[in-house]
Amino acid sequence: MYNRSKKTTVYIYNQEILAMKKTIFRFTATALTISVIFFSCQKETNHPANSFKNNFSSFRLYDGGFPEGFEAGTKTSYTAADVTLTTGIWNLSDVLIGTSTSDRKVGTKSARIQNSGKLTMKFNLSNGASQVNVRHAKYGSESNSSWKLYYSTNSGMSWTQTGSTITTSSTTLNTATFQVNITGNIRFELRKSSGGKLNVDEFTVYDYGSAPTEDNNLEMGNPSGAVTDINSPDNYLQSKPQYILSYNNSKGEPNWVSWHLSLAWKGAALRCNCFSPDYGLPSSFFIATTSNYTGSGFDRGHMCPSEDRDLNNVDNAATFQMDNIVPQAPQNNQQTWANFENYCRTLLYQGNELYIISGGYGSGGTGSNGGVTYTISNGNINVPAHVWKVVVVLPLGTNDASRVSAQTRVIAIDLPNTQTVTAHTWDYYRTSVDNIESLTGYDFLSTVSTSIQSTVESTVDSVPVQ
């Protein structure tokens, strides 16, 4: 709800997560604290701080205690043996539980698999399975490896492969997603088939019928009333499967970009770095190219980040279209914004889905060349003075806009587009939704009732995050 007279300032982390334990008991439960977060663009980096996992090792977000993070077990040898984990008893053959700095992990432990190792459940899941997600990465500097996922519906008497063979080629944890959709008793076995040692973490099984989905990228409303009309060049609605944006032809960049994020969008596609013009815009519009940024002192800053769309190569490439890009100070893009974006993605592994809106406002930023720069590319592209991001965090479910309540958590951040922004961590820049609305003229969460908007949009978050 937009009100120009209202000004104020908004995040979320372990202490609030711990409080949520009191009301969340399993993935299929209906009550989860709803959160909203505002954040901005970044260059892709590794997750900065993932200590949240230690607080969740016994937190039953999914039926049976999933995701399995291997935090409760100890096994220092590759010799085959049964290990009791949070989810149940697993047999680890040519597998140990790694804790070294070379082990890729979310918390303090992950499974390390060598040779033709197997990671096998010795228990059944009675609610079936709709989807399985497995995070995986190369151990240390090992060579690429390949592995497969199998399931059994007869207590391990026989096994059937699900999905395709996965290649692990990165030292950063990526998510492999398997669509299973089988009812009744089921268990799983991961088998390494070739290559060097690999790490596996956050093994997640969703009950049958309860997997995350790819939802409406504009579920929370059209902030500026953008339309796909060539006569509205500075508020032109551009709709793509991966995100939706309002393009500003006079500024050569988006006014805002809106997208939905859940684990359904996550996968193992690598960052393509394939910046390209968007020729889907009207030919009479200014269409930015990557060369317009050369020597400018500013990064090509994603609004919808590459890592939010890594299910497949097509989705990832879409984030590199130049109408999803604004000039961002390198330290802003690669540090402060990146840390917040990485944090937000950790929320997905706690049973949440996100609705995100991102943009910039004003003119005049300071990049690596120093001074204040108002435009680049001979005046065709505006350099925002500030960048902001909005994220609505909900427990997985349906009819999402109607599930936002007066208790929904709202976090807004508004960062100066400068190199010195790193003087503070991202949470220092928290503000309220009302304040962002007053600075941009946009109306956020317009599909939510006005009475609820007035409450959640005026809230300034104060949860400790460091």
The single residue of 136, 260, 302, 386 carrying the catalytic annotation is 302
Tokens 């500075």 appear where? 234
C-alpha closest to that of 29 among 59, 69, 72, 74:
59
- Asked if 386 is an active-site residue, the reply is no
Cis peptide before 395 (omega within 30 of 0): no
Residue 125 carries which DSSP code? B
- Report DSSP letters for 73-107, one per residue: ----S-S-EEEE-SSSEEEEEEEEEE-STTS--SS
What is the separation, in whole angstroms, between the first and last Cα of the chain?
Answer: 30
Structure tokens at 361: 């406002």
Q: Using CA atoms, how far apart are residues 227 and 213, in angstroms rounded to an integer?
A: 26
CA dihedral of 73, 113, 137, 110, whole degrees rounded to 10: 10
As to burial, measured by CB atoms within 10 angstroms (0-12 exposed, 13-18 middle, 19+ buried), residue 236 is buried
- CA atoms of 80 and 77, how far apart (whole Å): 8
Is the distance from CB of 301 to CB of 326 less than 8 angstroms? Answer: yes
- Strands (E) located in 140-293: 145-152, 160-168, 174-182, 187-195, 198-206, 236-239, 244-248, 253-261
Element (H, E) at 265: none
Around Cβ 312, how many Cβ atoms within 10 Å?
12
Residue 306 CB neighbours (<10 A):
23
Using the structure block, give the residue that is written with the tokens 């977060």. Answer: 37
The residues annotated with a catalytic role in the active site are 302
